[in-house]
Structure 1
Amino acid sequence: MLLDFHSEIYSWIRGGLFVLFIYHFLIFFQNKSKLYLYYSLYLLALTIYLFQHLLPEETSTFYNYLNFPIQFLAYAAYVAFARDLLDTRAHLIKWDKYFEIEIKILLILAVVFVLIQFLFGENYQNKAFVIIAPFLTLFTLASFYVIISKIKDNSARYFVAGSLIYVLLANVSFIEIITGPKFFIDYGVQPMFFVYLGAFLQSIIFSIIIGFIIKRIQDKSKNAEVRLAVKLKEMEELKMTALQSQMNPHFLFNSLNSINNFVLKNEVEKASDYITKFSKLIRVILNSSSSPTSSLSEELTILALYVKLEQMRVTGGFNYNVTIGDNINSESIKVPPLFLQPFIENAIWHGIMKKKGEKTIDLSIKEDNGYVLCEILDNGVGINKTKQITHLSQKKKFFGAEATENRIRILHQNKGVDIEIKDISNENTTGTKVSIRFPLN
Structure 2
Amino acid sequence: MDYNQIYWVDFINIGFLGIMFFVLLYALGVYVYERKVIYFYYSLYIFVLGIYLFSRSEFIYNNITIEIEEYFPRINFFISDTFQYIAHFAALQFGILFLNAKKDYPIFFRAAYYVRIFFLLAILLSILNISTFNNQVFNDWLSYIERTVATIATIYMQIVILVQAKNKLVVFYMVGSILFLVGAVVSVFALDVIYMRIGTLIEILLFSLGLAYRSNLMQKERNIFKERMISEIQEKEELLNRYNEDLKRQVIERSEALINEQQLFEREKQKVLKLSLEKEIDRVKMTALRSQMKPHFLFNALNAIRALIIKNDSHQAYDYLTDFSRLVRYILESSENEYVSLDEELKMLKIYVRIEQMRADDSFEYSVDVDDSIDKREVSIPPLILQPFLENAIVHGVDNSKENQLISVNISLESESLIRFEVQDNGKGRNNDDNENKFAELGKKKSMAVDLTQKRLNLLDSNQARLEIKDLYLENGASAGTKVVLYLPLIINGKKIKSNINR
Q: Give me the TM-score of the superposition, normalised by structure 1.
A: 0.53
Of the three residues 110, 120, 126, the one matched with 2:140 is: 126
Match of 2:66 among 40, 53, 57: 57
Q: Kindly tell me the number of residue pairs found equivalent between the two proteins.
A: 259
Alignment of 1:315-354 (within 5 A): none
Work out the CA distance in 1 between the residues paired with 2:259 and 2:146.
96
Instruction: Kindly indicate whether residue 100 of structure 2 is the aligned counterpart of residue 87 of structure 1.
Output: yes
Q: CA deviation at 1:134?
A: 2.5
Q: Deviations over 1:61-87 (max 9, x none)?
A: 223233211111111011011111112
Map of 2:195 onto structure 1: 194
TM-aligned CA distance change 1:161 to 1:3, over 3 Å: farther
AA matched with 1:59: I
Indicate yes or no: 2:77 matched with 1:70.
Answer: no
Please name the residue that 2:121 is paired with: 108
Residues 265, 129 of structure 1: alpha-carbon distance in 2 compared, 3 angstrom cutoff: closer
Aligned to 2:225: 224
Amino acid of the structure 1 residue aligned with 2:66: E
Letter in 2 for 1:7: D
Amino acid at match of 1:223: I
Q: Residue 35 of structure 1 corresponds to which residue in structure 2?
A: 38
Q: For 2:138 and 2:118, how far apart are their aligned partners in 1?
A: 19
- The 8 Å contact of residues 49 and 70 in structure 1, kept in 2 or not, is answered as yes
Indicate whether 1:22 and 2:25 are aligned. Answer: yes
Q: Is the 8 A contact 1:158 1:209 kept in 2?
A: yes
- Any conservation in 1 of the 2:122–2:146 contact (CA below 8 Å)? no
2:115 alignment partner AA: E
Contact 1:2 1:193 in 2 (8 A): no
Q: 2:111 aligns with which of 86, 90, 98?
A: 98
SS at match of 1:119: coil
Moved more, 66-75 or 217-226: 217-226
Take 1:115 and 1:224, find their aligned partners in 2: how far apart are those partners? Answer: 50
AA aligned to 2:12 is I
On the 8 A contact 2:45/2:91 being kept in 1, the answer is yes
**Structure 1 residues 29 and 132: CA distance shift in structure 2, 3 A:** closer
Code of the residue aligned with 1:155 in structure 2: it is: L
What does residue 12 of structure 1 align with?
15
Residue 251 of structure 1 is matched in structure 2 by 252
Q: State whether structure 2 residue 165 is matched by structure 1 residue 164.
A: no
Higher relative contact order (CA 8 A, sep 6+): 1
Change (3 A) 1:132 1:224: closer
Specify the code of the residue in structure 1 equivalent to 2:90. Answer: A
Alpha-carbon shift at residue 152 of structure 1 (Å): 4.1
Aligned partner of 2:210 in structure 1 is 209
Per the alignment, in what secondary structure is the counterpart of residue 56 of structure 1?
A: helix
**1:79·1:99 contact (CA, 8 Å) conserved in 2?**
yes
CA 1:131–1:222: 2 relative to 1, 3 Å:
closer
Q: Distance in 1 between the 2:219 and 2:252 partners?
A: 49
2:50 is matched by which residue type in structure 1?
Answer: T
Q: Taking structure 1 as reference, are residues 4 and 122 closer, same or farther at Cα in structure 2, changes over 3 Å only?
A: farther
Q: Distance in 2 between matches of 1:124 and 1:241?
A: 79
CA distance in 2: counterparts of 1:33 and 1:24, whole angstroms: 10
Partner of 2:457: none
Q: CA deviation at 1:172?
A: 2.7
Q: Is 2:28–2:40's contact at 8 Å kept on the other side of the alignment? A: yes
Partner of 2:332: none
Deviation at residue 24 of structure 1 after TM alignment: 1.8
**Separation in 1 of the partners of 2:267 and 2:24?**
93
- What is the CA–CA distance in structure 1 between the aligned matches of 2:108 and 2:199, rounded to whole Å? 26
What's the CA shift string for 1:362-405, capped at 9, x where partnerless? xxxxxxxxxxxxxxxxxxxxxxxxxxxxxx99x9xxxxxxxxxx
Q: 2:229 and 2:146 mapped to 1: Cα distance?
A: 53
Higher alpha-carbon deviation: 82-91 or 6-15:
6-15
* Corresponding residue for residue 299 of structure 1: none
Q: Secondary structure at the match of 1:47?
A: helix
Q: Give the AA of the match of 1:34.
A: V
Matches within 5 A, 1:127-146: 127-146=141-160
Deviation at 1:51, TM superposition (A): 3.6
Equivalent position amino acid for 1:72 in 2: Y
Secondary structure of the 1:120 match is: coil
Distance in 2 between residues matched to 1:206 and 1:34, nearest whole Å? 15
Q: 2 CA distance for matches of 1:134 and 1:72?
A: 12
One-letter identity of the residue aligned with 2:199: G
Q: Deviations over 1:319-348 (max 9, x none)?
A: xxxxxxxxxxxxxxxxxxxxxxxxxxxxxx
- Contact 1:162–1:202 (Cα < 8 Å) also in 2: yes
Could you tell me how far apart the structure 1 residues matched to 2:233 and 2:5 are?
62
Q: 2:241 matched to which residue of 1? A: 240
| CA distance in structure 1 between the aligned counterparts of 2:206 and 2:240, rounded to whole angstroms | 51
* C-alpha distance after superposition, 1:384-432 (max 9, x if no partner): xxxxxxxx99x9xxxxxxxxxxxxxxxxxxxxxxxxxxxxxxxxxxxxx
Structure 1: tracts of 5 or more residues without a match? 176-182, 185-190, 268-391, 396-441
Give yes or no for contact 1:5–1:11 (8 Å, CA) kept in 2.
no
Deviations 1:25-82 (A, max 9, x none): 2222333322222212211221222342433313242232332111111110110111
Corresponding letter in the other structure for 1:56 = T
Give the Cα–Cα distance (whole angstroms) in 2 for the partners of residues 235 and 32 of structure 1.
36
| TM-score, structure 2 normalization | 0.47
Identity of aligned residues (%): 17
Asked if the contact 1:28/1:36 (under 8 Å) is kept, the reply is: yes
Q: What's the CA shift string for 1:291-310, capped at 9, x where partnerless?
A: xxxxxxxxxxxxxxxxxxxx
